[in-house]
Amino acid sequence: MKLTAISIFPEYFAPLELSLIGKARSQGLVNFSSINLRDFTYDNHHTVDDTPYGGGAGMVMKPEPWGEAIDSQIQGQNVVDLVILTPAGTKFNQRFAQTFATSEHIIFACGRYEGIDARVAEHYRSIPSVRVHEISIGDFVLNGGEVAALVMIEAIVRLIPGVIGNPESLLEESHNEMGEVEYPTFTKPATWRGLSVPDVLLSGNHGEIARWRSEEAQRRSQSR
Ligand code: ADE
């Protein structure tokens, strides 16, 4: 899978060298690159924003650098998923992560300020080889889309076959097919600061353990 982030702060993506994602990159399971939007500007100040038509506070990202940057990434490609990060987008969830995990190439457009000129999404919606998704990671406002893209990348890449050592762990975790959150988990010691692990988990009775976990998952899903 190819992942490309377009941003005025490509350094934000340095953590993708770490942990499982870093390993997936070194194994060739994912190919990540970040590109600087300012490289697609032609004025001395490398301007990427301007005042909004119609007035109002803040600045809007100009469409021309975005158009050139995205064009440079979609040339010669089959189908690409263009993810535009915005607090006004459709809310990201595990089902989206599963769908994106089968994508060949995802381009993350990380806007800043008051967002990207709306014609950018409109233009790429008219291009058959581009699937445009305007996505929010939650009902709160970040300073830009970079952290949101990192969240999405982590959720997506761990679902690519071969990235997680034990794929069974993906079946049991929260927000799986059942739509439930996961049961509580415990490890040694059996008693810590006066708190004991539920007896059933020490019983060795796999049927009882499975029943207890399923009940706990249901109880948690309802109450949270
Ligand atoms: N940019 C700013 N806030 C955001 C959010 N909640 N989700 C995605 N992109 C954003």
What is the per-residue pLDDT for 170?
84
**Token output for 23:** 């390993």
Instruction: Give residue-wise pLDDT tens across range 204-219.
Output: 999 999 999 999 999 9
Instruction: Give residue-wise pLDDT tens across range 115-126.
Output: 999 999 999 999
What are the strands, taking DSSP E only, across 53-175?
Answer: 60-61, 80-91, 105-110, 130-136
Give residue 3 CA to ligand 1 midpoint distance, Å.
Answer: 19
Residue 48 phi/psi, 5-degree rounding, is: -120, -5
Q: Does the C-beta of 10 come closer than 6 Å to ligand 1?
A: no
In this prediction, residue 169 has a pLDDT band, given cuts at 50, 70 and 90, of: confident
Q: Which of 114, 142, 150 to mutate to test the pocket of ligand 1 (most atoms within 8 A of CB)?
A: 142
156 to each of 20, 95, 101, 152, how far by Cα in Å?
A: 12, 10, 5, 6
- From 62, 77, 83, 63, select the one nearest 150 (Cα to Cα): 83
